[in-house]
Homo-oligomer: A and B are copies of this chain.
Amino acid sequence: MRLCIMGAGRIGSAVADLADDYGHTVTALADSKSAVIDEDGIDVDSAFAEKRDEGRIGEDALEEATEALYDVLIEVTPTTPGNAEPAYSHVRTALERDCHVVLGNKGPVAERYQDVRALERESAGELRFEATVGGAMPVISTITDLEPSRVTNVRGVFNGLANFILSRMAAEGLGYEHVLAEARDLGIGEADSDFDIEGTDTALTCSIIANVLSRTDHEFRLGDADIEGIKHIPGSALDLAKEDGQTIRLIGDVTSENIRVGPRLVPSNGPLAVQGTKTIVQIETETTGRINVSGGGTTGHEIATAILTDINRIGE
């Protein structure tokens, strides 16, 4: 497949790095300012070298990338809550041109689900977004296989930074600010850590799941979620929980009608009490009970693998 990669951060660069190994050719690649386009395949290494040296990935205009020759557009610009732009426009252009779209950016399916599904219905291209929920963990595909209408509940720990903070605070008795600084030193989480800690990232993930589970035309958006972050949890609350064989995790909980995101008490030795930056998703139906999926982290190469795995699903 010929790939157009919109976004040249840690995920975009990892997709570009792995594409050749999966038999794909990158024909367009864009950062936030510019693009590099070549129908015969871009020299990915020199494009990223140019980005390091010149501060931009190429000499073509950004707008030209989505109009270039490609089979799949990969949207991995940073997720911006609100109107999902510019990701939404990239997705629209690709689908209107009958190209496939694979999302890493959560926005289009978290906040404009009905719009992008309508575009997909009119297109010969497919829209895939497994990588937006739990990275390399098979969540959307498992829900789809089980049939969304049979799934009664999906819940889990979806954010690695928030979980790192809570599990370090509980294990070491350290304060919130100290652990957050430690996470920054380790390069965990995005530049805007509030996005993770206040529950926004988890709520966007839950909105995507709710859109998949929804049995009506209602479009879930960030505003539909009842959200509480973890910023104001004192170490003493974690100590109290511990005395009772429990701990606190930032849990996202989704049904076809509701989204709740907030800190919850969970048993210390139960499946939801994952450690460090690990994440877990529990999918429940009436006849299977809970299926747990965990692991598959959130580094650039892990998310990139999820995106390349989604490309494999095109045409299924």
Contacts and interface: CB of A to CB of B under 8 A. Distances in A.
Contacts of A33: none
A301 B297 CA distance: 32
B145 A291 contact: no
A295 B289 CA distance: 8
Given A145-B138, A316-B316, A305 B292 contact: no
Interface string A282-314: 100101111111111100011011100100110
A147 B289 CA distance: 28
Contacts of A147: 309, 312
Contact residue range for chain A?
20 to 34
Contact of A287 (B137, B282, B292, B304): B304
Q: Do most interface residues of chain A lie in helix, strand or loop, or is the interface mixed?
A: mixed
A51 to B, nearest CB: 22
Nearest to A150: B305
Contacts of A306: 288
A22 to B, nearest CB: 8
Given A145-B309, A304-B287, A309-B146, A293 B296 contact: no
Contacts of A124: none
A132 to B, nearest CB: 15
Contact of A302 (B287, B292, B301): B287
A83 interface: no
A269 B274 CA distance: 11
A136 interface: yes
Nearest to A315: B316
A271 interface: yes
A142 interface: yes
B287 A18 contact: yes
A288 B145 contact: no
Contacts of A313: 145
B269 A288 contact: no
A294 B136 CA distance: 16
A137 to B, nearest CB: 6
A305 B291 contact: no
Contacts of A141: 138, 141-142, 145
Contact of A296 (B136, B289, B297): B289
Interface string A259-295: 0000000000101000000000010010111111111
A256 to B, nearest CB: 18
